[in-house]
Amino acid sequence: MQTPHPVTATINGREETFEVIGLESLMDALRNRLHLSGTKEGCREGECGACTVLLDGKPINACIFIARAAEGREIETIEGLQDDLSSRIKQAIVETSGVQCGYCTPGIVVMLSGLLRRVEAPNEALIREALSGNICRCTGYAQIVDAVLDVVEQKAAAS
Amino acid sequence: MAHMDFHSLTSLDETLEKLAAYGSDATLVAGGTSARYLIMSGQVEAKAVLHIERLAEFAGITLNGGARLGALTNMRDIAEDTAIIARFASLATAAGKCGGWQTQSIATIGGNVCGASPSADLIAPLLVQDAEIELHSQARGSRTVALTDFLVAAYKTDRAADEMATAFHLPAQPGESADTYIKIQRRSAMERPIIGVALRLALDESGENIREVRIAVCGAGPMPFRASEAETLLAGQAPTDEAVRAASDAIIKRSTFRDDARASASYRAAVLPRAFAHALSLCRATIAGA
């Protein structure tokens, strides 16, 4: 039997300490120990992107990331993305009907928040490339890409 | 699951000390995108996991005549580096096609190469640069090995149990040359290569004849390999249809194709010559346009 090991990390701006066992994934720690269930479990092998979170600002698949490696680092989950940019992404996805079953949506919003923070005005090709690790089986992606282009357009109009 | 030690390390000395102590009982983990799966699924037995992602001194790209890439440089940083895109395009392309951005943010060049998976995306592009790998151990200091010699077989390298890979050295490339990577896959992303062709082409002063060509192929044998017979056939030749076909035949002769979930052996054999010819024409166009 393995003994639990404490991990301290900044989760959504707050320092949290939680216990993990062995190579437990960050996704399991977030969902089961911190009760942040917005990070979704899809494939558990880093293929579908439903569990996307930001690690020090970069998108990762939490399902394959070793929770103990998060020690001392900054994690942002869908629950923590309440800033203006993230809110605009969410609103735009609603307006373009980019949500059907909704299971992939948190991961997609996290990925897009990470993208738009880093790249002011991504074109469609870059948006599609950034989303290539986020599987959506309902929408066909067109509405989601439209949503991002809308946000980019709003940003350009506002500046 | 049995007890497993976990050490998160911050310096090379500390890492080499642990490697010396644990030997083959240790598994080095950087981003963990592959290693964690191998351990969890029982394919790799690890009594100790040495987490080396924090050794920041081994992440990053330095330019000299060629380039030095720290072994902990991640795929996304390689894919987006403007100097790598300009000088070693095949490497940037391959890194940008290795899983999604979520994988590329943490997966490292060292992990990709040292895992020595038959479908590792970066191996073929590194082989056509004549890349070398640098390794460190506590007992023997550092050594540098040509990548062709380092890769022994599928999942097997020349890395000793007490060594850590620290860097990749890409030598200066010939003038009037270009490189490219063609990855044949079922979807445009999130796939392992069915066939991968990396090519470095150098033309002579006339711009007509091939001075040197380096060809590396993956998906056509148990490991990515340099198609040296085809390289020899093309050296000093004009890339006529006939010469390209002869080189293609030499690559096929060297290959062993198999059926798997992604593609049939016959599809691989059919697509490889086309990927090779396409890679050649892309390199020629790049040189002509430069």
> Nearest CB to A59: which of B53, B102, B190?
B102
CATH node for B56-170: 3.30.465.10
Distance CA B27, CA B52 (A): 10
Which fold, B177-289? Answer: Enolase-like; domain 1 (3.30.390)
> Nearest CB to A23: which of B33, B36, B188?
B36
Binary contact (A59, B105; C-beta < 8 A) = yes
- Where is the domain boundary, A30, A61, A80? A80
Q: Which domain, by its residues, includes A95?
A: 84-158
SS3 A124: helix
Lowest mean pLDDT among A146-150, B43-47, B82-86: B43-47
SS3 B209: coil
Instruction: Judge if A57 and A15 occupy the same domain.
Output: yes
Whether the predicted interface score ipTM is above 0.85: yes
Q: Tens digit of pLDDT for each residue in A78-116? A: 999 999 999 999 999 999 999 999 999 999 999 999 999
Query: Is residue A66 within 8 angstroms of chain B, CB to CB?
Result: yes
Nearest to B162 by CA among B6, B277, B50: B50
- Where is the domain boundary, A80, A103, A134? A80
Contacts with B103 from chain A: Cβ below 8 Å: 46, 61, 133
Distance CA B113, CA B135 (A): 13
CATH node for B5-51: 3.30.43
Contacts with A68 from chain B: Cβ below 8 Å: 6, 8, 51
Per the CB < 8 A criterion, the answer to whether B196 and B182 are in contact is yes
Query: Distance between alpha carbon B62 and the CA centroid of its chain, in Å?
Result: 18
Closest-CA distance, B74 to chain A, in angstroms, reads 12
**Residue B156 confidence (pLDDT):** 96
State how many domains chain A has: 2
> Nearest CB to A49: which of B6, B39, B100?
B100
**Residue B88 confidence (pLDDT):** 98
Contacts with B105 from chain A: Cβ below 8 Å: 55, 58-60
The CATH number of residue A121's host domain is 1.10.150.120
**Residue B68 confidence (pLDDT):** 98
Q: Tens digit of pLDDT for each residue in B62-114? A: 999 999 999 999 999 999 999 999 999 999 999 999 999 999 999 999 999 99
Query: Is residue A77 within 8 angstroms of chain B, CB to CB?
Result: no
Is 90 exceeded by the pLDDT of residue B37?
A: yes
